Amino acid sequence: MKIVLIVLLTITSLGFSQTDKIVEDLRTGNPMLIGETTRNAFQNESFSGWYNAQYTKYEVNNGRLESSKEKIKEKSITIVMGTWCGDSRREVPRMLKILDIIDFPKEQVSIINVDRNMKGTSSDVDSLNIKAVPTFILYEDDKEIGRIIESPEETLEKDLVRIVD
């Protein structure tokens, strides 16, 4: 019976990708997320303070999004970030709040965390040409149509509309 359970657990673990992996930031000794991440990871006590504060206090300019929200919802978005990065800690919760406000489909958002060398796990970011974080990459039919890198040129809302219009 134990052998059957071990085999089943092994097969099950091989069939699913590992998400929400926390490692130690070698520079600071603090926890950091690495690789593909779910939004639930931001509720870990190591990240929830800054995440929830930024998400809660950000006021979305919904009026700016209104005319383009259906176009935005037709896209997919990859977010590459670092939990060690101040810009990521500020902009990612804000972007996720914007996406929540417009009812953006959660399955069309991918979040990948990188270390200070802009590396994730295996080859998850190698082909994305990431130079700084956060980087928000918008796709239409699997083709990149624009990026917001580090911080928006104007606001996240205006930059999103500019990319999709």
Strand 135-140 and strand 76-81: pairing? antiparallel
Say if CB 83 and CB 35 are below 8 A apart.
no
Element (DSSP H or E) covering residue 34:
strand 31-37
Strand partners, 107: none
Instruction: State residue 18's pLDDT score.
Output: 57
DSSP-H helix ranges across 19-58: 48-57
Contact 85, 49 (CB under 8 A): no
In this predicted structure, what is the pLDDT of residue 19? Answer: 81
**Beta strands 31-37 and 21-24: pairing type?**
antiparallel
Predicted local distance difference test score (pLDDT) of residue 126? 86
pLDDT, residue 86, reads 97
Sites in the chain below the pLDDT cut of 70? 1-18
- For β-strands 21-24 and 76-81, DSSP reports them as unpaired
The pLDDT assigned to 122 comes to 74
Structure tokens of 94?
């804000």
Backbone angles phi, psi at 83, to 5 degrees: -70, -10
pLDDT tens-digit map of 55-69: 999 999 999 899 999
